[in-house]
């Protein structure tokens, strides 16, 4: 059984990497082809909003998933894997913050109220927990003076918390797509297909990340 599990790790993780490319391509097609494009400073306000789904999905979700898989995908010593894990999470957090700022700016420019949807509530909770988790991880796992016994006690809770936050991020992404689908008048039927496929690929990515974490690494 263990041998069969090990044989599954490589294709599962490789498939997760493929899904990163697929989801990124779908998001770019949606925003650049069907929507107005991307810009921070423009009189075409939807361009400002479009930065939000791009950074939240490609940066926050996909990079966050890659950070979770770092211990299974990055070759070399555990110290290198840990640094990659923390760095990818930091980049994901920063892109998430920029993406959140973009939607705040969009709402502010058009006098749209903030935090009146389930998506916005789940998204805000997710990014706050993500930031707290990253800061706590720095003090617990990155500082050399932390006792190894403390790290061992905290590690299971760190993993559990990371999985919960990742699931919340997936929920935020999916509710965001549904919200945009509901509030916006879609240009054509093909756009709906792109958005639906994007949502399905995000769900599939979350499954492969979970499988990559649970299955043992091939040595």
The tens place of each residue's pLDDT in the chain, 219 residues long, gives 444 444 456 788 999 999 999 999 999 999 999 999 999 999 999 999 999 999 999 999 999 999 999 988 888 888 899 999 999 999 999 999 999 999 999 999 999 999 999 999 999 999 999 999 999 999 888 877 777 888 888 999 999 999 999 999 999 999 999 999 888 766 578 899 999 999 999 999 999 999 988 876 655
Q: Which domain holds residue 114?
A: 2-214
| Cβ neighbour number for residue 110 with a 10 Å cutoff | 11
User: Does residue 203 belong to any structural domain of this protein?
Assistant: yes
Q: What is the pLDDT of residue 120?
A: 96
Q: What is the pLDDT of residue 187?
A: 59
Q: What is the pLDDT of residue 5?
A: 45
Q: What is the pLDDT of residue 219?
A: 52
Q: Write b or e for each residue in 195-205: b if 16 or more Cβ atoms lie within 10 A of its Cβ, otherwise e.
A: beebbebbeeb
CA distance 51 to 219: 40
Contacts of 78 (CB under 8 A, 6+ apart): 71
Contact in structure between 216 and 9 (CB atoms under 8 Å): yes
Enter the pTM of the model. Answer: 0.91
User: Does residue 219 belong to any structural domain of this protein?
Assistant: no
CA distance 92 to 67: 9
Q: What is the pLDDT of residue 3?
A: 43
| Nearest by Cα to 206 from 168, 175, 179 | 168
Joined tokens for residue 117: 């949807």
User: Does residue 165 belong to any structural domain of this protein?
Assistant: yes
Number of domains the chain contains: 1
| pLDDT one-digit tens code per residue, 186-212 | 657 889 999 999 999 999 999 999 998
CATH value at residue 199: 1.20.120.1770
User: Does residue 103 belong to any structural domain of this protein?
Assistant: yes
User: Does residue 21 belong to any structural domain of this protein?
Assistant: yes
Q: What is the pLDDT of residue 186?
A: 63
């Amino acid at each position: 059984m263990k041998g069969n599990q090990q044989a599954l790790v490589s294709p599962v993780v490789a498939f997760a990497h493929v899904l990163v490319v697929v989801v990124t391509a779908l998001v770019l097609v949606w925003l650049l082809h069907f929507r107005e494009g991307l810009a921070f400073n423009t009189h075409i306000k939807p361009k400002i909003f479009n930065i939000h789904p791009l950074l939240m999905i490609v940066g926050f979700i996909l990079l966050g998933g890659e950070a979770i898989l770092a211990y299974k995908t990055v070759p070399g010593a555990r110290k290198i894997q840990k640094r990659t894990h923390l760095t990818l999470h930091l980049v994901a957090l920063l892109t998430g913050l920029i993406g959140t700022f973009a939607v705040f700016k969009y709402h502010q420019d058009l006098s749209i109220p903030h935090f009146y949807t389930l998506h916005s509530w789940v998204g805000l909770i997710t990014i706050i927990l993500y930031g707290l988790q990253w800061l706590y991880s720095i003090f617990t796992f990155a500082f050399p003076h932390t006792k190894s016994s403390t790290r061992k006690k905290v590690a299971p809770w760190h993993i559990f918390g990371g999985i919960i936050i990742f699931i919340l991020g997936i929920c935020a992404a999916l509710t965001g797509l549904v919200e945009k689908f509901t509030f916006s008048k879609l240009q054509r039927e093909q756009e709906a297909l792109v958005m639906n496929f994007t949502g399905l690929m995000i769900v599939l990515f979350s499954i492969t990340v979970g499988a990559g974490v649970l299955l043992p690494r091939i040595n």
